[in-house]
Amino acid sequence: MRVLVVEDNKSLARALRQGIEEEGYAVDCAHDGEEADHKVRGTDYDVIVLDLMLPKIDGITLLKQWRGAGRESCVLVLTAKDTTADKITGLDVGADDYLTKPFELDELLARVRALVRRKHAVKDPVLRCHDMELDTAARTVKRGGRPIYLTPREYGLLEFLAFHRGRVVTRSMIWEHLYDEHDESTSNVVDVYIRYLRNKIDKGFELPLILTRWGEGYMLRGDDDPGPVDSESDE
Amino acid sequence: MKSIRLSLVVYLILLQSLALGASGWLAYRTADEKLSTEQVSHYALLAKQHDEKAKAIRDRFDEELLAIARRIAKNAAEQPQFRQHQATQVIPVGLITAGLAPHGEVLMPVWVASGSRSSLHLQILRRLVTEIVVPEEQLPRDVEFAGSEFFQINSEWASLPAWRSRSLGAESLPFDPGQVSSLQVVDWAYDDITLPNGEPGRRIQFKTPVSRFRFLRTPGLPPVPPTSDTAIPPVQQPPVTPAEGRPERLAEMGVPFIVIQCAFQVDQRDRQLDRLNASTTSEMKDVVIQGADARWVLTQRLVLIGLATFAAITFGALFLINHGLAPLRRLGDAVSQVTPQSLRLQFEEAELPRELDPIVDRLRATLEQLRSAFEREKQAVADISHELRTPVTALLATLDVTLKKQRSAEEYRAALVDARAAGGHLRTLVERLLALARLDAGVVPTRIEEVDLNDAVERVAGLIRPLAAEKGLTLQTHCPAGLQWTTDGDKFREVLVNLLHNAVQYNQPGGLIDLRVSSEAGRLVAVIRDTGKGIDPQQLPHLFERFYRADPSREEAALHAGLGLAIVRGYLDLMGGDIQVDSVPGQGTTFRISLPPAPLPRREAA
């Protein structure tokens, strides 16, 4: 999942970035309205954490512009403005959630997770795929009742696949959603992580869950996908 | 606490009581006087009527007396008695003529004389007449009153004994010839006497000539008065003046007179008078009683009318007072509904009378001031909390993220650096807020000293230059060498730092910042010029308000927070200086501050 933090207070932005990154999300930062607008135009963010009082272009104006342009990203407004009128204004111009400063980091992270679920039209925080369970809240994975330990990046990849379960996601999509702007790696790294994941998820199980679509990308096995006959390992 | 209603009611009742009392008293007095006058005239009328009636009774009585006296006189005057033996003694020839004379005993000379016309026979008559007798049966006497009516005839010539009616018995009526002599020829007089039987009585003395001699009855005699009472001349008045001629002569001629006295008991008349008196007295009493009744009724009515008026006016006044006080009550209600949440007077303008306009206007103005003060305060609190929240949030978020898991020493260090920065912002903000609060409270301590301005400018420039360089700006400073000024050096530098910060903040890349300090006309002048984007002229008046930012978005949040210029203004006010701002949008802004020299504290002066 890729998150944009728009916050002009640099130390807060840094803290937010670190906090959200450690949840396994790829985080970009913007310190003023123009920068935020520029980044939103270039990238399809899953969640945008938006301060309202920004230099150059204020948050409300940005939000209106984005909604007007058909941007589907979930927007969490994070601001010191705490009056009811401010909240109503923020929500009415298209924010999905509203959190006032100062806030608890855990609450912010929970809201970000909720927004990710909303983005993918999922209600249950536990994503299921055959005998695998992915708890997005605890960020744990079990297969056949046995816990599987994943690195944050591996977990992010699996979660992304799980949210798009039954659909093919391209390498660039994965790359875009899992790597932030500062990451120097290319989309080839996706293949590497897919391999790592397969080692942890599919190894020792009869039914492979991570499928490869040649020339397209990868997908997590859907309920009605055929058995392992047509699936091909990347190896 | 005085009650308008109560005092109005009390004053009204007092006033009313006075007015009603006064008018009631006047009305009573007027009516009383009228009643008294009426009573007096009624009294007078009654008295007059009484007098007239009493007089009529007396007059009728007197008339009766007179009529009787007259009748007696008529008889008596023709019946003088001559005693035979005397006549014989005087005139011996009487015997001779005795057989011839019609009267037997009457002597010749008398007879002769009766035919004579001279005064001589009158002399004779006077000499010879022995007695005048009135036969008792001829007396006009009521059988009923026998014993209470007395008659007596006295002759003028004293030698003649008085004839007395039988009722007199041995008594006689007192007779004073002198009293009678003043009377005219035919005349009468009344008087009240005590009768021989001891009862009070009324007497008439009727003087009449002995009129036996026909020739004496001349037309010159006064006519017999009519019996009607009105024509009777009063007793004391002199009788009708005798006509010229005969009556005069009658006296001269020596015509003999007799005085007929009729004295009647007056008990019956007095009883009549008593009855009259009694009836008059009772009528007068009635008048008194009627007067008292009328006064009583009048008093009652006045009291009744007074009470009714009093009640009516009191109730009316209460209503009016309530009515008059209603706007005040409405205003009070409206005022009592004013709360810090809604500082408005809730009523229609038209509901209140003009008299309350000054109060209402003042109230509205005050409430409006309060409201804007509250607004400003609310805004200030919101702004302050907003400004404080961001660095607090940054601090907390940094710490929260760091504490989430085990970190390397390097990571901890980075987090601490971030936390320190956030703490620094917080401190700056808190210090600024504190500075403003102290300015508001007027407890900012000043430290006046001799300031080397070159040094001050250099120190400020040393602070700002790195910031300017970071943005690619050039900072130029100009200050005459050796310029000294007596002022609070810390605050002066704080002012310069704030203004230069702004100049850096709102400058354009590659821009210029120019600081010139000089001394002009006894004042220290510092001009800070930048080549920034300038300030909209509409925003200039608000520039020094707290939390005001020409640019609603912000760059370095905690550093400015819209408080810098407010503090600059506060410090300059404190030091007696002023600040002017001149800005051309797109070209730059120039702040010009000027400071008078501050008086050195006594310690240094000494």
Cα of B478 vs its chain's centroid, Å: 87
- Rounded to the nearest angstrom, the minimum Cα separation between A189 and chain B is 26
Question: Distance (Å) from the C-alpha of residue B550 to the closest C-alpha of chain A?
Answer: 12
Instruction: Tell the CATH topology of A126-230.
Output: Arc Repressor Mutant, subunit A (1.10.10)
Mean pLDDT of B508-519: 88
Q: What is the least distance, in Å, from the CA of B419 to any CA of chain A? A: 8
User: Do the two domains A2-119 and A126-230 of this chain adopt the same fold?
Assistant: no
Residues in chain A with CB shorter than 8 Å from the CB of B398 are 11-12, 14-15
Q: How far apart are CA A81 and CA B410, in angstroms?
A: 34
Which of A18, A33, A106 is the closest to B553 by Cβ? A33
Find out whether B298 and B31 touch, Cβ atoms under 8 Å.
yes
Confidence of residue B601 (pLDDT cuts 50, 70, 90): low
Q: What is the mean pLDDT of chain B?
A: 77
Over 90: is that where the pLDDT of A6 sits?
yes
Query: Would you call A19 and B557 a contact, using CB atoms and an 8 Å cutoff?
Result: no
Per-residue pLDDT tens over the stretch A49-97: 998 888 888 889 999 999 999 888 999 998 888 888 889 999 999 999 9
Q: What is the pLDDT of residue B48?
A: 92
pLDDT digits (tens, 9 = 90+) for B126-135: 666 666 777 7
**Within 10 Å of residue A150's Cβ, how many Cβ atoms?**
21
Average pLDDT over residues B47-69: 89
Test B389 with A102 for CB contact under 8 angstroms. yes
Q: To probe the interface with B, which of A8, A11, A61 has the most B CB atoms within 10 Å?
A: A11
Cα-to-chain-centroid distance, residue B376: 57
Give me A6's structure tokens.
């728009």
Domain definitions of chain A by residue range: 2-119, 126-230
**Best residue in B386, B390, B559 for a mutation probing chain A (most A CBs within 10 Å):** B390
Give which of B492, B519, B514, B517 is closest to B504, Cα–Cα: B514
Assess whether the previous peptide bond of B225 is cis (omega < 30° from 0).
Answer: no
What confidence category does residue B278 fall into, taking pLDDT thresholds of 50, 70 and 90? very high
- The mean per-residue pLDDT over the stretch B76-100 comes to 50
Which segment of A129-143, B116-130, B440-454 scores lowest on mean pLDDT?
B116-130
Would you say residue B265 has pLDDT above 90? no
B418 → closest Cβ in A15, A54, A103: A15
CA B498 to chain centre: 76
Q: Which residue of B has its CA nearest to A103?
A: B393
Residue B456 to residue B462: CA distance in whole angstroms: 10
Residues of A in contact with B421 (CB under 8 A): 11
Percentage of chain A beyond pLDDT 90 is: 22
Structure confidence at residue B547 as a pLDDT band (50, 70, 90): low
Residues A179 and B45: their CA atoms lie apart, in Å, by 141
The lowest-confidence range among A24-28, B193-197, B214-218, B346-350 is: B214-218
Question: Does any CB of chain A come closer than 8 Å to the CB of residue B422?
Answer: yes
- Among 3.40.50.2300, 3.90.1150.10, 1.50.10.10, 2.40.128.20, name the CATH number for the domain at A2-119: 3.40.50.2300
Closest CB to A55 among B390, B421, B555: B555
Q: What is the pLDDT of residues B3-31, one digit of tens each?
A: 888 888 888 889 989 998 999 899 989 98
pLDDT at A47 exceeding the cut of 90:
yes
- How many C-beta atoms surround the C-beta of residue B331 within 10 A? 18
Strand partners, B478: B516
Q: Which residue type occupies B230?
A: T
Burial label for B366, CB within 10 Å (0-12, 13-18, 19+), is exposed
Q: Which residues of A touch B379 (CB under 8 A)?
A: none
User: A interface toward B at CB cutoff 8 Å?
Assistant: 8-9, 11-12, 14-16, 18-19, 22, 32-33, 53-58, 80-83, 100-106
Given pLDDT bands bounded at 50, 70 and 90, which one contains residue B222?
Answer: very low
The dihedral over CA atoms of B494, B495, B501, B505, expressed in degrees to the nearest 10, equals 150
Query: What is the predicted pLDDT for the residue at B480?
Result: 86
Q: Of A151, A199, A118, A149, which is closest to residue A24 (Cα–Cα)?
A: A151
Residue B557 confidence (pLDDT): 42
Residue B252 has pLDDT above 60, yes or no: no
Residue A181 structure tokens: 């702007």
pLDDT surpasses 60 at B92: no
pLDDT at position B83, please?
A: 52
Query: Residues of A with CB below 8 A from B392's CB?
Result: 101-102
Distances (CA, A) of A183 to A177, A179, A189, B90, B414: 12, 6, 11, 209, 20
pLDDT band per the 50, 70, 90 thresholds, residue B548: low
> Do A14 and B552 make contact, defined as CB atoms within 8 angstroms?
no
Give how far Cα B536 sits from Cα of B69, B141, B274, B317, B555, Å: 146, 148, 126, 65, 18
- Spatial CB neighbours of A9, under 8 Å, sequence gap ≥ 6: A51, B390, B391, B393, B394, B422, B557, B558
Q: Which of residues 377-406 of B touch A (CB under 8 A)?
A: 382, 385-387, 389-398, 400-402, 404-405
Mean predicted lDDT score pLDDT of chain A:
85
How many contacts (CB atoms, under 8 Å) link A and B? Answer: 86
Q: Which residues contact B141 (CB under 8 A, 6 or more apart)?
A: B149
Look at the pTM and tell me if it is higher than 0.80. no
Percent of chain B with pLDDT over 90: 7
Helix (H) / strand (E) containing A109: helix A105-119
- Other CB atoms within 10 Å distance of the CB of residue B603: 7
For residue B310, what are the contacts with CB-CB under 8 A and spacing of at least 6? B16, B17, B20
Mean pLDDT of B570-588: 86
Q: Which residue in B496, B486, B441, B474 sits closest to B605, CA to CA?
A: B486
B421 touches chain A (CB under 8 A): yes
- Candidate ranges A149-158, B157-166, B337-346, B438-447; pick with highest mean pLDDT: A149-158
